[in-house]
Amino acid sequence: MVDVLTCTSLADAASALSSNRRARFLAGGTLLMRAINEGDQTIDTIVRTSDPAFLQIQEQGDRIVVGAGVTMNQILASPALEFLHPVARVVGGPAVRSMATIGGNLFAHHPYGELTTALLAVEATVAVAGGYTARELPLVDLLRDRDQQQQPLVASITVQRPLGPAGLRFKKVTRVKPKGISILSIAAMTNGRSIRVAYNGMAPTPMRALAVERALEGKALDAASVTPALAVAAEGTSPFDDAIASAWYRLEVLPVHLRRLLLGEAA
């Protein structure tokens, strides 16, 4: 049997989670409820929250603070988050998008986690709720420790709006069009001559492609600048074999899709 605990505040939910190692936080439930229905015996309590802040999207100048309980469909309905629409649109089908949250996506293992890849490229930060305190940390730090420790409760995600509509580019690489399962995905944010690139499916967690970023720093995106960046595209990756693709295949197709994305070419 699994108990359900609904907390009126994020702080109470965080306390409930930290006091019971067998408690899990429930957001949209697209992954957690599947685990419970499949008989995961490590879970004895589900913790939810009715805190309104969990569902809010707040614009603060160029920053947008997105409650971790905001769903893909709510992202798609938000003009402030237009730069994330192409990403939210490729997460699952309509039923999944009506439940799947931005916060849950941060903890979704490959082949999932598309939105997280884009959030890494826009250098998102996350606010982690605590029993008495909340703290803000770079998303990259949350992902680094994601699978090593008890999951912290993410209250919200803060993103900086990219410059211009083409500021964020995104590609989900699949074998089946238009909506196959992800082999890997790539996101790139350009702000003038500064670029941030992130991959999913090239390591156990979504990662920044720091070598590519360094190779492109201060340069306009054209064939001359992109070619040397492609030569270091695999630096820092640790691709794996799974039922979707082999590590070899991932390494082969990564530079092909990265090139197209950076040069704005159609797939």
Ligand X SMILES: Cc1cc2nc3c(=O)[nH]c(=O)nc-3n(C[C@H](O)[C@H](O)[C@H](O)COP(=O)(O)OP(=O)(O)OC[C@H]3O[C@@H](n4cnc5c(N)ncnc54)[C@H](O)[C@@H]3O)c2cc1C
- Residues lying near ligand X in the complex (CB under 6 A): 24-32, 68, 91-92, 96, 99-101, 103-105, 107-108, 112-115, 151, 153-154
C-beta of 37 vs 265, nearer to ligand X: 37
CA-based nearest residue to 106, from 141, 78, 62: 141
Distance in angstroms (rounded) separating the CA atoms of residues 105 and 202? 17
Nearer to ligand X, 77 or 263 (CB): 77
CB of 237 to ligand X, least distance (A): 19
Nearer Cβ to ligand X (74/225): 74
Residue nearer to ligand X on the CB measure, 103 or 226: 103
Q: Angle formed by the axes of helices 247-263 and 223-231, to 10°?
A: 160
The answer to whether the beta carbons of residues 7 and 13 sit under 8 Å apart is yes
Cα gap 117→203, rounded to integer Å: 12
CB 252, min distance to ligand X, A: 22
3-state secondary structure at position 184: strand
Q: Which residues contact 77 (CB under 8 A, 6 or more apart)?
A: none
- CB 74, min distance to ligand X, A: 12
Least CB distance to ligand X at residue 196 (A): 19
Closest residue to ligand X in the complex (CB): 104
